[in-house]
Structure formats: structure tokens, C-alpha cells
Structure 1
């Protein structure tokens, strides 16, 4: 079987965050390049902007999210069951271990750790906990974990992979079988599909779509009327867009937003995986070759390429002008032309 990876190649007080911002950073190694396909890219990222390698040594870096109240980045390494913390001028170190499933790991579990991460409006970490097969919330000060959802209609999720939190507190998430050693054939599997869900603030779970082979990265437009979904499917390497109604539910079938078949056919590393959306509606979608930067209409402006598969990305930084990339065994960064 061709796996995705084969193809993909504490709340902290404000004064502490201010001190972190003033720390001097070292000179980082550089890798890859920005590919400018449209001059409109210059307003988002300069074509000559260097891609800096901030940290290395991970099995599969994933799920980055910037913590504004602490001035640091959290990112996951699902195979090693760790969430790491990177801070400017300080560097990277393990923050949460185990990040997902605690105790002995069954042989049928392939990725015991957390994957996609986000921060809610109260400053708490919310994670797609692949190993525990749940959506979970973690208090950053105490590291106390609370399971928010573990089942749909009484059956356990497969291995939640990525998520995004709306302004109302609803959580959209994807649930492919990547956490299982045997994927779709896993004896642990209880649901016979790989779903896309909405977890409402009241704890109820709604299934939005059960038709995709490998649903993965997920994001919302600034007005929260469009839900983006990346398909890590070698037969359908696409990003889709769902129109949402005023209640945050899809109004019909999704439309094609971005097709990455050409890059995949050319042998570029990666598949559609994680994605983020900036305040202007630009979509930063990882896929064959790196991070694809698109207009809200789906026009491809450029690609941030590290030379390796990029699993996910995050927008943030002390001044809101950093694009962080979790690229296989490393964490990287490229500066943006303006705050995201």
C-alpha cells in the first residue's frame, strides 16, 4: 500500500511574552526557495525571502499553531507522541509527552500522538488526538487534558487528524485512518468511513461528509462561510471548498478549490495535507512541492518549497508576519511581507 508518508516523502503572562520577543535569535540555516508564479505574491511574501530551518530531528513534524498569549509556537510529532514548543531566541523543546495516547501503545496503533493543533478563544490548546481517537483540550498552564468528543453515534472515531475552531467555538475536524497500522483494514476501526465533522459548543457531533478516501487539512475563511478541506488522496489530490450557512453547516456539495494533480504527477514531494487561511482570505495549502499560496478565488500565486514534503503550516509570530512550516523532519519559517 502507498501510504501518505511515503508520498508526503500554558497560557503565559503578557510580560513573559514581551521578554521572549526581545530575545536575540541565532543565524539559522537556510533551505529551499519561494517560487513566484504571479506578481500578486509579492504583497504576501517576497520571492527572495529566505526559508530558515528553526529546528530538526523529528520523525514527522505536524500541526503547528502560534500561541499569542505566550509568544511561542506549538507543533506535534505524532509518531513520537510529543508536542514541542518553539520560542524565538530560546529554541525548541518537548512541551507535552505523551501528547496523545498514554500507557502501552498497541501494535495496531501507528501514530499514538496528537496531530493537528489550534488555540481556542480562552487560550487553551485544542488537539486532534490521533492516538486517543478524540478531540481534546489541554490547559496550557496545568497541562490537564479534557476529552471533548470521542464518538459519533456511539462508535469511536478513527484517528482525528486536523481541526479548526470557529468564532462560535464550534470545531471542524477530519478523521482519516492514519493513526492505525492497517489503515482502513484496522481491527480497531468502528466507523466504516473517514468523516468530516462539526463538534458544536454543546458537545453534539454532526457528520458533514463521509464520502472522502483521505480527508485531512481543514480551515475556515475569515467570514466563516467557507470551509476548506484538503484530500491526501493520490488519486484525487485536491483542496475542496464547502459553502456554509449561518449555522456553520454545509449548504450542498463542495466545489473544487485547487487541484494539485500536476505537481504530484511531476514527482514533487508531498500530497495535500494541512492548510491555513489568513485574515484576507488567502489560503496556504501544503501539497506537492510545498506550501501553495492562493487567492480566495483559488488562483495559485506561488509555492514555498523546502525541498521536502511540508505536512502543515501556521501563521503568526511576534509581529504576525511569520509562516511556519512543519516539513518532514524539521520546523522552518519564512517571513511574510505583511501581517497575516
Structure 2
């Protein structure tokens, strides 16, 4: 599927470049950054007036959890009023609530006793809820999409193969209105990545799994598919590509069956690396009004549905993912070795 011509980059190169110039730090890919790289005081950079609907530059940013090897995959559980988030290299899921703070929720979070010589990240990565309130786990170590009953903690492997071959290391996932699960499968969880002896798939794919059990390849041409999200109407699928040479976010127009009919370049993130901004395109969430909260080089960026930048939340280190929670007016950020919390002016849900 051909990509359209990139949108004009004058706004991103000048506005974003100026903002990220204040926050320059070594570029870090999809791995663990040191605590020293997260010492910059978190701040909000206003890039356009549209940011004011959600945030002010002086909005307090609270740290609610620290001491994490690599914070990922946050999801708010409304029927329990708590946040779950992954630590893939530590192979645990932690829970945060106002009442109890941070506590261990699940260990191991994914693979049982993974071999460190072959498995780089044995734990869960992306997390979300299905329509019945079960936890869905992107299993980096198990190389599968796993369903977890939150009451009993009983695990069920939903899918771990495509055309008879095991996935690489499932990274992130989202759920469509009909219950179908879209997920990405880069090689990040494997020691050696694409050169790993465990790698069975010839590509790093984006997939769609339906509750009936069928799994379909959405795109097998991306070098490093990572974060994934659906538009509110379910007609567009967005996928981050964490490629250091060509960092970008792709958009897929979906037909009535949830399969792509066209692919376009939604955001070219390469200009954001010009000031050595930390991180790469990663996790994302889309608010009810279509505003994107996307992990990009430099932090977590708010953008319009047309990919125009509104503002940036930055810490000087990667912010790989986020989640809306509580009454929909709280934004949780998994920010390298910590989890941040800030209040939005309006509900994103």
C-alpha cells in the first residue's frame, strides 16, 4: 500500500525543534535508560494554542512510582479504581491506587523463568482491557496475546502463532468495538533482535485477531512496529514505527471487516531527532475528541487529528506510553524509571 507524500514539515521542524532544544538528551531506543537521564524536572511545552483545552504549562506533574527498570503499558481499571503498569525487564506488573500507593500485582507478569541468554524482556509489555473487563497482555516473553482474569489471575493464551510460526515478542495492543485485537510484534524481547535464533516470523508484523480465533496480517513491511491505537470511530488504525533511521507513525484506513484499504504517513518524527531528543515513537492514546497523546522523540506529545503539534510533556528521558484514568481527566505517563500523574482540564474519555 503506497504512502502519501509527507505533510509539510515547517511547523514540526521549527516549533518542535525549538521546544526540544530545551530538553536535549542522548537518543534512547526501545530499551532501558539510566536514572541519571530522568533527572530533568518534568515540564510542559506549549507549541500551539490548542494545548490550552487540555493543559496549562504550569499544570502540576506528580511522580507516583519510582524504582522501575522500564515502565510500560499503563491501563486504568475503572471497576477497581487502580492503575496497572508493566515492567518488562523485571517481569512484573505493578498496581497503583490512591488508597494503597504502588504495590506488586503480578509476578511473573508473562513468561515463567525465561532464559536470559535468549530472551531480553521476559515480562508483559502493553496492557489493555477487553469488553468484559479482563486484562489483555502483550506478552514480550511468552510471545503471545494473553487474557488475564483480574479476580482469579487465571491466564489464557489467545494467540501465539501466525501461519504456524511463533510471534517475535508481542509489544502493544488495542481492542476494536467488535472485540477484535490489533497488536504489534517487533523483535525487542529477543536477544539479538532480528538476528535471534528464536525468531520464526520473516517480518515484524502488525496483526488482527478475532474472537473466533482467526489471525490476519495487517502489515508485514514495517521495520519496528510498536505502539498501536484505533480512532474513536474505529475506521483508522495508527501504528508507531520505532526505527531510528525513519521514525514515524502510520495510519491505516480500515474497511467494514477491520482490514486495511490504504496506508498513509501520518507523522514524520525524524525532524524531532534533530536536537538529540530522547526516545522514539512508541505508545499512544487517542482522546474522545480525536486529540492524540503520542510518545515521540522528546516525550509525550499532544497533536490534532491532522498531526499538528499542540504541546509536549517532557522529562529529559523517553516517555514510552500513557493512559487516561480516574474520571477521564487524569493522564498517567510511564516515564522511563517512574510513573507520572497529571490532571487534564477536560475528560479525554
Name the TM-score, length of structure 2 as normaliser. Answer: 0.88
Q: Does 1:336 align with 2:344?
A: yes
What secondary structure sits across from 2:260 in the alignment?
Answer: coil
> Would the alpha carbon gap of residues 104 and 289 (structure 1) be closer, same or farther in structure 2, given more than 3 Å must change?
closer
1:238 maps to 248
Cα distance in 2, alignment partners of residues 225 and 272 from structure 1: 21
> Would the alpha carbon gap of residues 174 and 187 (structure 1) be closer, same or farther in structure 2, given more than 3 Å must change?
same
What secondary structure sits across from 1:271 in the alignment?
Answer: coil
Cα distance in 1, alignment partners of residues 209 and 161 from structure 2: 11
Offset of 1:47 from its aligned partner? 2.0
Runs of 4+ in 1 over 2 A off after TM superposition: 2-9, 103-106
Offset of 1:89 from its aligned partner? 3.4
Structure 1, unmatched stretches of 5+, are: 10-28
What secondary structure sits across from 2:194 in the alignment?
Answer: helix
Contact 2:30 2:242 in 1 (8 A): no
Contact 1:197 1:208 in 2 (8 A): yes
Structure 2, unmatched stretches of 5+, are: 1-26
What are the superposed Cα offsets for residues 31-63 of structure 1, whole Å, 9 maximum, x if unpaired? 311111111111122221121111100110000
2:204 maps to 194
Contact 2:300 2:319 in 1 (8 A): yes
Root mean square deviation of aligned Cα: 1.7
> Would the alpha carbon gap of residues 255 and 277 (structure 1) be closer, same or farther in structure 2, given more than 3 Å must change?
same
> Would the alpha carbon gap of residues 277 and 315 (structure 1) be closer, same or farther in structure 2, given more than 3 Å must change?
same
Contact 1:31 1:53 in 2 (8 A): no
What are the superposed Cα offsets for residues 115-162 of structure 1, whole Å, 9 maximum, x if unpaired? 000011111000101100000000000100000001000000000000
Q: 2:271 aligns with which of 262, 269, 274?
A: 262
Q: Which has the higher contact order (CA 8 A, sep 6+)?
A: 2
1:12 maps to none
Q: 2:106 aligns with which of 73, 88, 96?
A: 96
What secondary structure sits across from 2:278 in the alignment?
Answer: coil
Q: 2:120 aligns with which of 110, 119, 141?
A: 110
> Would the alpha carbon gap of residues 120 and 6 (structure 1) be closer, same or farther in structure 2, given more than 3 Å must change?
closer
What secondary structure sits across from 1:83 in the alignment?
Answer: strand
> Would the alpha carbon gap of residues 312 and 81 (structure 1) be closer, same or farther in structure 2, given more than 3 Å must change?
same
Q: Does 1:4 align with 2:29?
A: yes
Offset of 1:301 from its aligned partner? 0.5
What are the superposed Cα offsets for residues 158-194 of structure 1, whole Å, 9 maximum, x if unpaired? 0000000111110000000000011000000111110
Q: How many residues align?
A: 318
Name the TM-score, length of structure 1 as normaliser. Answer: 0.90
Q: Does 1:322 align with 2:330?
A: yes
Cα distance in 1, alignment partners of residues 286 and 172 from structure 2: 14
Q: Does 1:86 align with 2:96?
A: yes
What secondary structure sits across from 1:228 in the alignment?
Answer: strand
Contact 1:64 1:314 in 2 (8 A): yes
Contact 1:30 1:52 in 2 (8 A): no
